[in-house]
Amino acid sequence: MLITIPSVLSKDDVAQVRAHLDAAQWEDGSATAGPQSAEVKRNQQLSPTSEAAQTLGKFILQKLTTDPFFLSAALPSRILPPMFNKYETEETFGAHIDNAIRVNPLTQERLRTDLSMTLFLSEPEDYDGGELVVEDHYGTQTVKLPAGDMILYPATSLHEVTPVTRGARVSSFFWLQSMIRSDANRRILFDLDQTIQSLTTTIGANAAETVRLTGIYHNLIRTWAET
């Protein structure tokens, strides 16, 4: 499932992050690509071990891991440190699928990539092109979000970033391992949790229907969760 997580960062937060990124030292993004991806990847990245990347990554994770909508959709177990990239004129990343296993550059811990995330740090009107195109079960989805919004999608998806023809597209990208490996099961749990939240508002958290569905939700997590 593709889910937009709105306002992970406020506009003031984005301005603060961009001030650091605009002053940072960027490097060739193909250095972190696998053999196949390197052939279609033309962009710039911040070194994941740089002070700027680590500081900004921690800031983003602090915001993200207190967002109830994100937690409902992702059910995260472990999250890789956010990375940062930039696409300027004629830069692009052709169609590819992310590596199934990635290594945390700070701890060397291995992590299964269940979900991919792109947090947009440029406003859509600041650049032309640069759309994230994701193929999923419902067809091809084209994504270009306001700065501060994030897209969450299965890491199994074929996806690409179209060539930038004007301006610069700056974003943070990273991956997580979910407690729920199956995308289909995560979708069921997300829909169920959102229904519970709606019932809590309309009929109350202690209503019999709300309590019953909450029990079903947690019992499904017990059945499907991997810790």
CATH of the domain at 216: 4.10.860.20
Residues 6+ apart with CB under 8 A from 187: 1
**100 and 204 together in one domain:** no
Task: Please choose, from the candidates 172, 9, 159, 175, the residue with its C-alpha nearest in 3D space to the C-alpha of residue 76.
Answer: 175
Per-residue pLDDT band for 136 (boundaries 50, 70, 90) equals: confident
**164 and 214 together in one domain:** no
**Maximal C-alpha separation, the chain:** 57
Each residue's pLDDT tens digit, 53-94? 999 999 999 999 999 999 999 999 999 999 999 999 999 999
Give, rounded to a whole angstrom, the gap between the first and last alpha carbons of the chain.
22
| CATH number reported for the structural domain that contains residue 41 in this entry | 2.60.120.620
Overall number of domains in the chain: 2
Range of the domain at 191: 183-224
